[in-house]
């Protein structure tokens, strides 16, 4: 499907999207700068990642409710998918292992981006949506992976 207008990312979306990366980046950096606080900082990073992963799943609930061009079966699959990221996020918090929690969140972010791509193939999304989601997903995953590596040392 072709992407719909607007062609440029709305200013508020840009600010909110990239602003949402600040906790990822600052917490990942703080983990390296203040290793004596890794337990607290790591919990904060995992918690924030879980919240944001749940949010990205909720976008799919909105897609199922509002996007034209989805068949009833595609809507059902989109509704069903929309709750999966929240379940993955919850599991990431349940495990008492930072690397496992990070791996689950990264897998959740990547899977949710893949679902974004799938939705974009059957209906119209703004042209800026997928490139923005790719950048946000990449940075969030890199920050989580940096914490996973730090927690192994």
Q: Which single residue is written with the structure tokens 């790719």?
A: 134
pTM of the model: 0.93
**pLDDT band per the 50, 70, 90 thresholds, residue 2:** very low
How does pLDDT run across 82-109, given as a tens digit for each residue? 999 999 999 999 998 999 999 999 999 9
> Do 109 and 137 touch, CB atoms closer than 8 A?
yes
Instruction: Return the closest-CA partner of residue 102 out of 113, 111, 112, 91.
Output: 91
How does pLDDT run across 127-143, given as a tens digit for each residue? 999 999 999 999 999 99
CB neighbours of residue 103 within 10 Å: 16
Helix axes 38-66, 72-94, angle to 10 degrees: 170
Average pLDDT over residues 61-71: 93
Return the pLDDT at 1.
53
């Amino acid at each position: 499907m072709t992407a719909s207008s607007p062609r440029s990312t709305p200013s508020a979306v840009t600010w909110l999207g990239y602003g949402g990366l600040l906790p990822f980046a600052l917490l990942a950096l703080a983990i390296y700068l203040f290793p004596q606080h890794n337990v607290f900082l790591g919990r904060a990073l995992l918690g924030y990642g879980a919240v944001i992963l749940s949010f990205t799943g909720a976008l799919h609930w909105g897609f199922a409710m509002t996007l034209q061009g989805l068949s009833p079966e595609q809507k059902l699959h989109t509704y069903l998918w929309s709750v999966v990221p929240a379940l993955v996020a919850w599991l990431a918090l349940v495990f008492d292992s930072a690397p496992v929690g990070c791996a689950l969140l990264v897998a959740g972010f990547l899977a949710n981006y893949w679902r974004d791509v799938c939705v974009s193939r059957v209906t119209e999304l703004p042209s800026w949506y997928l490139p923005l989601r790719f950048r946000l997903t990449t940075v969030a995953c890199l920050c989580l992976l940096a914490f996973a590596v730090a927690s192994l040392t």
